[in-house]
Structure 1
Amino acid sequence: MTYQDKILQCADCGYDFEFTSNEQAFYASKGLTNHPKRCKSCRNARKDSSRYGVRSENNSRKMYDVVCSDCGADAQVPFQPSGNRPVLCKNCYSNSYSRRSA
């Protein structure tokens, strides 16, 4: 199938961008049927946003202070412990995980 370059409008910034014939062929080879909605710079900005796992300082995950069940060291974890399961510090968790997978 032959493709021709298309001009599309970005859903975020409103500027026109080119959807090249090579990009269209790539989309088709991956089974993608929809055209891109965003220009390359807006796609990259969206990927870098907090929605995709990058957190800014004011959007950081709440950390909870705990005492490690194995070694007794003070630690912080990114979840609120329920109290009915042991909580491990990073080192003890890594050691425990490596023993289980070996």
Structure 2
Amino acid sequence: MSFADKTLTCRDCGMDFVFTSGEQEFYAQKGFANEPTRCPSCRQQRKASNGGRSYSERNGYGRNDGYAGGRGSYGGERQMYTTTCAACGREAQVPFMPRGDKPVYCSDCFQDQRRSSGRNRW
């Protein structure tokens, strides 16, 4: 397949930029179906304003830290809430704010509940 330089207009700044034949070949090799809509400087500026993170990273998708709400690419600690276990009465730390309409269990009692209800899929 033969590629030729194309002049495109940036959707952010309105300036024309060249989508080179080499860039087109790269896009084709990667399977990208769409041409770029931003000039290189606007792309760079957009990356910088997002901290260099992609859409999926900014929105919690594709994280590989074991579970969605844990410590990951955002670097912060998960907020934990202190409550009383509904089964044994001990103090428990949970990763959500208890609402009071459902029982909340400590880790040990939660595992016991899962085992007794047959929901031990892990």
Match of 1:48 in 2: 48
Query: Looking at CA atoms only, which structure, 1 or 2, has the larger radius of gyration?
Result: 2
2:37 matched residue in structure 1: 37
Aligned 1:20-99 pairs, distance under 5 A? 20-50=20-50, 52=52, 78-83=77-82, 84-85=92-93
Question: Please, what TM-score do these two structures have when normalized by structure 2?
Answer: 0.46
> What's the CA shift for 1:82?
1.9
Aligned length: 64
Matched residue, 2:8: 8
The amino acid across from 1:85 in the alignment is: Q
TM normalised by structure 1 equals 0.54
How far 1:78 sits from its partner (Å)?
A: 4.6
Identity of aligned residues (%): 49
1 or 2 for the larger relative contact order (CA 8 Å, sep ≥6)?
1
RMSD: 2.3
Q: 2:16 is matched by which residue type in structure 1?
A: D
Structure 1 counterpart SS, 2:36: coil
Q: Unmatched 5+ residue regions in structure 1?
A: 54-76, 87-102
Q: Which blocks of at least 5 consecutive residues in structure 2 are unaligned?
A: 54-75, 83-91, 95-122
